[in-house]
Amino acid sequence: MYLKSAAIAAMAFGTETIPKADKIFGPGNQWVTAAKQLVNADGIAIDMPAGPSEVLVIADDSANPKFVAADLLSQAEHGPDSQVVLITTSEVLIDAVTNEIENFTKQLSRKEIIEKSLLNSVIILVNDLEEAIAISNNYAPEHLILSVDNSEAIAEKIINAGSVFLGNYSPESAGDYASGTNHTLPTNGFASAYSGVSLDSFMKKITFQKLSKDGLSKLGKTIQTMAEEEGLDAHKLAVSIRTENSNG
């Protein structure tokens, strides 16, 4: 973990052999995330806070408990600080998923990590899917799996999530390895403010503007009034010297 944090510092500030980066991308554990946030405070651009990993599954009676259990475990095995959440309208499903988690965990190589991660995790029984959606949007999960009937209709109500997986045959693992989306995603609730990495993340935009004399005259009073309100006389002057000078 210290080597990863040192790598962030090396990319942020440069070394004899590593050039200084303009922006640092990529997920990591809590140490990597902390290192990225520290260098960001020093003026180095980052994609987003990304890590530790988390998943939230919304499930109804149509969900397969084995699938749900496997999805929860696939995130729990990332590390002891990972968090997995199940929100469901079905009390029967809770019992079934809990049993499957216990059965699967015994077979998995990262059993000790999973058991620690599950201590951070929770299952929530709700009255209906509207309540589940409200909790999910407030939590803003990194990964959201919709194991429900009419998953596409439910997806239209999701406003905060890093990446959403629709239906019983869209495991988060597919997003990690093969379904095509970038999988550097915001965690710890940052999905309410950040998007996942995409091509747009690598773009830097510059705006340009050109005003004609007539165009500036039409905007002039607005600009001068706002400048006056802020007490910025030179801002006002930069406009008035142009609009009031007929020879300009």
Pick out the chain residues at pLDDT < 50: none
In a domain, 38, yes or no: yes
**Quick one: pLDDT at residue 4?**
75
Residues 68 and 178 in one domain: yes
Residues 226 and 175 in one domain: no
User: Considering 54, 77, 100, 142, which one is annotated as catalytic?
Assistant: 142
**Quick one: pLDDT at residue 177?**
92
**Quick one: pLDDT at residue 207?**
95
Q: Which of 44, 92, 26 is nearest to 64 (CA)?
A: 92
**Quick one: pLDDT at residue 83?**
94
CATH of the domain at 82: 3.40.50.1980
**Quick one: pLDDT at residue 143?**
96
CB 58 within 8 A of CB 147: yes
Active-site annotation holds for 143: yes
Residues 87 and 157 in one domain: yes
User: Considering 54, 78, 143, 172, which one is annotated as catalytic?
Assistant: 143
Range of the domain at 165: 54-202
Domain total for the chain? Answer: 3
**Quick one: pLDDT at residue 246?**
52
In a domain, 27, yes or no: yes
**Quick one: pLDDT at residue 32?**
85
What distance in Å separates the CA atoms of residue 119 and residue 2, rounded to the nearest whole number? 25
